[in-house]
Structures are given as C-alpha cells and as structure tokens.
Chains A and B, each alone.
Chain A
Amino acid sequence: MLCKRLITVLTFSDGVLFRTKKFRPDYRYTLKFVDSWSVDEIVVLDVTRDPADDRRVFKTVVGEFARRCFVPLAAGGGIRTLEDVHAYLDIGADKVVLNTGALRDETLITKAANAFGTQCVVISIDCAQTRDGYEVRSDFGGRPTGRSPLDWARRAEDLGAGEIMLNSIERDGSLLGYELDLCRQIAEAVNIPVLICGGAGNWKHFEDGFKIGKADAVCTTNIYHFTETSIQSAKSYLAAAGVRVRP
C-alpha cells in the first residue's frame, strides 16, 4: 500500500537557506539539520525577490542536492518557459514546481506535462484568506488573482498537473497547523496527489493533515529546526497513530 509522505521544503533567498514566516525570509539556518536518509522527498524553492545572474547560486545548490541525495527532488522558482523547466531537470531535479508562471500562462502546464510527463509537474497554489473563503495569490503571495483555489486545482489537473502543493500565506511559519478544510476540499475534488504546506508546528499537525485534510503528503519548512527531534521521530508518531509511512 502506498505510503503517506513527509516532504522537506527548503526555501532559498539569494542562495541562502531561510525559513519563512508569512512568505518573508525570517530565519537563516544551515543544511546540517536535513536528515537526508529519512526524508521521503525534498522540495527546493528559490524565493529570491529580484534574482540576478540567472539564479546561479540556487542552481548550484539544486545540483548539489541531486548529487548527494538519492531521494526525489522537486525544484521551483521563477519558471516561466519550457526552457526553464528543462534547465531545472538538467541539473538533476525530478520534478518542477510551477506557480506564478502557470497562472500567467496555463499552457506551460500542458507543455511541461507533454514533454516530461504529468508526474514531473507540481502546481503550487498559494492561498490567502478572504472574507468569504480563499483566493489564489501569485508573485510570492503578493498579487491577488481573483481565482478560487479549488477551481484552479481542478483546472491544473485538467491541463496536466501531476501534483498539487497547497500553501497558506497566513499559516506559513505560524506553527498553528495546516489549512485543513481547504486541503480536504481540494483532495476530494482532484484525482492527483495533494501536498499540504504551511503551518505545521507539531507531529499532531501532520496526522491532521493526513486524516482531516486528506493530504497525500505533508510538507514542512520549519518544524525540524525548532527542536532536536528528527523526521524519524515524526514518523514513529505517525505510525503509532495508524498512518502508513516509510520507516
């Protein structure tokens, strides 16, 4: 039976690893905290606001991960064209994470899926709370799009997306838990895996992500860095709670 996944998301700004809070680089840390043998999958994102030099430092980091970690690796940041997709795959990423680029040009999803397979295309959806629900934001969560996350997730699936990565701007770095209701709505509406991101503060939040949010994978950027406890301990907790995970 397919295991639920624990994904480590690493955000880089100007080539430096940061944890984020409400989508702003918040605290700089080092990679020694990443337990690369226990992790199920790694997502690396470049959140540099004004990237210069063709993101060279970030791409070097991605290449290093690809060489040293024998685990699935997804990369994203500034992907606007099929050539950008190719560039990340060339340096060793298995999947690409599309966000603003896909919102600006939906055909990018289909082009990437046709060229590299649907399993290669992760659509990251950044959501902000509104008075009567949620709205998709683009450009580092800064630009309202007027789109509903549920409709965009469905549309992305139709266009060829292989996974949905749902993130909440308000919950990012909050440690208050995931946006469970929205996650469940999306997980029930699409037939591709849904990854929930943003807000995990303890192992119970992971359990809730799977059991209440119906997510296929839970992502964390921050949680391992506040405590000495490891991914192993999170997995023991989940196994005891009846969630099938890779030991």
Chain B
Amino acid sequence: MISIVDYGLSNLACVASACAYLGYEARIVETGDGLEGSERIILPGVGAFGDAMRNLGERGLIPALNKSVVEDRVPFLGICLGAQLICRDSDEFGMHEGLGWLDVPVRRVDTLGEKLRVPHTGWDNIEILRESPLLDGIPPDSLFYFTHSHAAYPAGEDSVVATCAYGRPLAAVLQERNIFATQFHPEKSQKIGLELLSNFLKLPRDAV
C-alpha cells in the first residue's frame, strides 16, 4: 500500500489523484501508527518548514517515519517541502531542525545577485548529474514545475541526482538509497511528472 503522509498543511488531493491516474491506490496517513505496512511512502508539501516539523511531531509521525524509511528502508519520496524536511535544517522563518536523513542545509533561494524573482515559480529545466531509477527514461533538460522560496543546497554530496540552475544551482532531485526527493512537483508537471512518479511507484521494493 502507498501511504501519503498528511501533516495538516499539504495539498494531498493532487498526489492521491496522480497515483490513482497511474493505477495505484493510495491511503492518507495522519498518525505514526498508520504508516505500518507501507510499501511506499510519499511526503508531499506545501507550507512553512517549522510548522511542518511541529505537526509531524505532534502526530507522532517522526519516529514512525524514521523506523519505516531509515530502518526498514521503505521506498520514500519527498516532494517540495517534503524534500526539504528530510534535510538537516532550514532557515525559513528562523532556524529549524529537519528529519536529518540527509546532511544538507535548506536555505532561501540564492539568486547570486542576479535579478531573479523569488519564489522560484514556473517550469524550469533540470540538469541530471547521475543516474537514478527515479529518472529512468526522463530526457535530460526536462521541464518540471517548481514553486518555492527555499531549497536544499548540498555541498558536493553524492545524494544530488539533478540540479536546477536558478542563481546558485539548487538540488532538484536527491536520492540516498531508498530515499528520493524532488524540489519540483511531479504531480503538477504534466506527462513528464507522471512518468517520474510512475518510476517511483513501480520500483521493486528491494531495488534500493
């Protein structure tokens, strides 16, 4: 069963419809206990980092996520804010600790002094740095829909699969073992986004 984690801030309907469109049934999980038996876990995201971490904590989701994803290695996909929450910390509205699965900081989009608008909103191309089952069949330079003011900025970590050059290149796709994350919204990126999501959903359970 695919579990979509609900921590009270996200637009879950779209992720659930995308799964349904691809022929997968998904359930919405609001508590730590609900994660038991998950074969896939998706952590979507809209909202502020600090509120999201607080809500995850209040719903008992943090230890449950740690157990399922880090110990039991259930394939995991973090989307947008969900991709940021698995990182070390974020400076959005003050400093907040994240789940810390990846030792990567989340910072406000760094335009390097270029006249670029923040939030980074719209369709932008990614640069693929290395192979990942998530990007199977995805052409280089594919366009995905981004909408965010903060992003993960890894310093040379192996976890980066693809970047997006908006000022300083930000992490667009991350992967470490069974942990996948996209800063863009695959569920809002038309056919190419659905293809990426399908790659995640059809991944054999023990492939990563």
Residues of chain A at the chain B interface (Cβ within 8 Å)? 1-5, 37, 40, 63, 66-68, 70-73, 89-95, 114-120, 162-163, 191-193, 216-217, 246
In the complex formed, the residue of A with least CB distance to B10 is: A89
Question: With A and B bound together, what is the CA distance between A117 and B109 in angstroms?
Answer: 14
Query: Are B194 and A70 neighbours in the complex by a CB distance under 8 Å?
Result: yes
Q: Using known A-B contacts A70-B193, A94-B147, determine if residue A120 contacts B121 with beta carbons closer than 8 Å.
A: no
Chain B nearest Cβ from A245, distance in angstroms: 8
Query: Are B118 and A72 neighbours in the complex by a CB distance under 8 Å?
Result: no
In the complex formed, the residue of A with least CB distance to B49 is: A117
In the complex formed, the residue of A with least CB distance to B116 is: A2
Task: Write the B36-52 contact mask toward A (1 if CB under 8 angstroms, else 0).
Answer: 00000000001110010
12 CB < 8 A contacts A-B: A3-B124, A3-B143, A66-B17, A72-B188, A94-B147, A95-B147, A115-B9, A116-B9, A116-B46, A119-B119, A162-B147, A163-B119
Task: Write the B119-138 contact mask toward A (1 if CB under 8 angstroms, else 0).
Answer: 11111110000000000000
Query: Are B123 and A3 neighbours in the complex by a CB distance under 8 Å?
Result: yes
Task: Write the B1-43 contact mask toward A (1 if CB under 8 angstroms, else 0).
Answer: 0000000010101100110010000000000000000000000
B199 is an interface residue with CB less than 8 A from chain A: no
In the complex formed, the residue of B with least CB distance to A92 is: B13
Query: Are A217 and B117 neighbours in the complex by a CB distance under 8 Å?
Result: no
Q: Using known A-B contacts A2-B122, A40-B122, A193-B122, determine if residue A66 contacts B13 with beta carbons closer than 8 Å.
A: yes
Chain A nearest Cβ from B150, distance in angstroms: 9
A-B contact count (CB 8 A): 109
Task: Write the B171-186 contact mask toward A (1 if CB under 8 angstroms, else 0).
Answer: 0000000000000010
Query: Are A70 and B122 neighbours in the complex by a CB distance under 8 Å?
Result: no
Q: Which of A1, A92, A115, A191 contacts B11 (CB 8 A)?
A: A92
Query: Are B47 and A70 neighbours in the complex by a CB distance under 8 Å?
Result: no
Q: Using known A-B contacts A115-B9, A116-B47, A118-B149, determine if residue A192 contacts B119 with beta carbons closer than 8 Å.
A: yes
Question: What are the residues of chain A within 8 A of B145 when measuring CB–CB?
Answer: 71-72
Main secondary structure of the interface of B (DSSP, over half): mixed
In the complex formed, the residue of B with least CB distance to A66 is: B13
B190 is an interface residue with CB less than 8 A from chain A: yes
Chain B nearest Cβ from A229, distance in angstroms: 20
Query: Are A120 and B46 neighbours in the complex by a CB distance under 8 Å?
Result: yes
In the complex formed, the residue of B with least CB distance to A90 is: B13
Question: What are the residues of chain B within 8 A of A117 when measuring CB–CB?
Answer: 46-48, 81, 119, 148-149
B89 is an interface residue with CB less than 8 A from chain A: no
Q: Which of A1, A114, A192, A217 contacts B118 (CB 8 A)?
A: A192
Question: With A and B bound together, what is the CA distance between A163 and B112 in angstroms?
Answer: 21
Residues of chain B at the chain A interface (Cβ within 8 Å)? 9, 11, 13-14, 17-18, 21, 46-48, 51, 81, 93, 116-125, 143, 145, 147-149, 165-166, 185, 187-191, 193-194
Question: What are the residues of chain A within 8 A of B9 when measuring CB–CB?
Answer: 115-116
Question: What are the residues of chain A within 8 A of B189 when measuring CB–CB?
Answer: 70
Question: With A and B bound together, what is the CA distance between A66 and B188 in angstroms?
Answer: 10
Query: Are B47 and A115 neighbours in the complex by a CB distance under 8 Å?
Result: yes
Question: With A and B bound together, what is the CA distance between A75 and B51 in angstroms?
Answer: 23
Query: Are A246 and B11 neighbours in the complex by a CB distance under 8 Å?
Result: no
Chain A nearest Cβ from B132, distance in angstroms: 21
Q: Using known A-B contacts A94-B46, A116-B47, determine if residue A192 contacts B187 with beta carbons closer than 8 Å.
A: no
Question: With A and B bound together, what is the CA distance between A91 and B11 in angstroms?
Answer: 8
Question: With A and B bound together, what is the CA distance between A86 and B131 in angstroms?
Answer: 39
Question: With A and B bound together, what is the CA distance between A1 and B190 in angstroms?
Answer: 18
Question: What are the residues of chain B within 8 A of A91 when measuring CB–CB?
Answer: 13
Question: With A and B bound together, what is the CA distance between A5 and B116 in angstroms?
Answer: 15
Query: Are A2 and B188 neighbours in the complex by a CB distance under 8 Å?
Result: no
Query: Are A115 and B48 neighbours in the complex by a CB distance under 8 Å?
Result: yes
Question: With A and B bound together, what is the CA distance between A146 and B193 in angstroms?
Answer: 44
Query: Are A67 and B17 neighbours in the complex by a CB distance under 8 Å?
Result: yes
Chain B nearest Cβ from A105, distance in angstroms: 21
Question: What are the residues of chain A within 8 A of B13 when measuring CB–CB?
Answer: 63, 66-67, 90-92
Question: What are the residues of chain B within 8 A of A95 when measuring CB–CB?
Answer: 147
Question: What are the residues of chain A within 8 A of B190 when measuring CB–CB?
Answer: 37, 70-71
